[in-house]
Amino acid sequence: MPKTTLIVATDIDGTLTDKNRKISLRAVELLRELQKLGAVVILISSHAFPAVSTLADYLGIEFMVAETGVCGGRPWRPIYVKPVQAREEVVRMVVERGFIPTESNNFRLGDISLYPPKNMGIDEALELLRDILKCYDLDFTYSGFAIHVFPRGVNKGWGLKTLLKYIEVEGEILALGDGENDIPLFEVADLSITSIHSPEKLRSAADIVLPYNNISTTLYVLEFIEKLLRLRGGISLRDIKRILVS
């Protein structure tokens, strides 16, 4: 039986970084090793395409999905883009209601990134945004750092599946994430893993919740998989799940 390709789809902020948003060099080392061992590693982020491109380029990661699924491809070479329609009109409307475009907004290929109005909590801001966008075929999510607006039906899971179709890669998907915007990613994965410190909704969507902080969870999983690949030359995510929950 031919070996099944392992696809490792990982969020960046809070998953590959510590609480101060400093990336774990050990996580980078492990991702590179997994690629050498035949895994397809894909960075999945809500960051702007140029930001994720720069990171992937320097880290040596071949594939990426950015802007909460709106675009994806190789560093600096988008393979697909599904942008917000009437983007300037939408930005003007939300700014008039107090929302603040993030510093990266002018560099994004397709989504809209916003800070909530001053002196407004995130829940109230999301309700206001829902009212503003009710006549548009758009959706939005809060990443923990900013609010992201994108076409309805687009999300991290949709972006990953779209990218895999374009690059003609099939296999078992292992997903790592730490925020509610990772739920759609977990929904398309064969095995999804998060930390006990992640939001309740994400923990409920995960196949496995580990009792470590976010970066320690990532390192534990990557080290475990790297060792198995070296020993066996191939692994089944069903076996990984069985071992981790036993």
Tens of pLDDT along 121-159?
Answer: 999 999 999 999 999 999 999 988 899 999 999 999 999
Quote the mean pLDDT of the chain. Answer: 94
pLDDT of residue 232: 81
CATH number at residue 25: 3.40.50.1000
Q: Give me the pLDDT at residue 1, please.
A: 35
Nearest Cα residue to 192 out of 96, 202, 135? 202
Do 141 and 222 reside in the same domain of the chain?
no
For 50-98, how does the pLDDT look when each residue is reduced to its tens digit (9 = 90+)? Answer: 999 999 999 999 999 999 999 999 999 999 999 999 999 999 999 999 9
Instruction: List the domain range (segments joined by +) for residue 219.
Output: 6-81+155-245
- In the prediction, which pLDDT does 3 show? 57
Terminal alpha carbon distance of the chain: 27
Name the domain boundary from 151, 169, 197.
151
Residues 154-190 have pLDDT tens digits of 999 999 999 999 999 999 999 999 999 999 999 999 9
**Domain count for the chain:** 2
Decide which of 124, 151, 178 is a domain's last residue.
151
Joined tokens for residue 213: 């902080």
Distance CA 102, CA 52 (A): 16
Q: List, in sequence order, every residue forming a beta bridge with 148; answer none if it has no partner.
A: 113, 141
Do 144 and 160 fall into the same domain? no
Whether residue 166 sits in one domain with residue 237: yes
Whether 1 maps to a domain, the answer reads: no
Taking alpha carbons only, the member of 166, 216, 171 closest to residue 193 is 216
Is residue 4 predicted with pLDDT exceeding 90?
Answer: no
124 in the Ramachandran plot: left (φ > 0), alpha (ψ -120 to 50) or beta? alpha
Is 176 in the same domain as 71? yes
Based on the domain organization, do 103 and 20 belong to the same domain? no
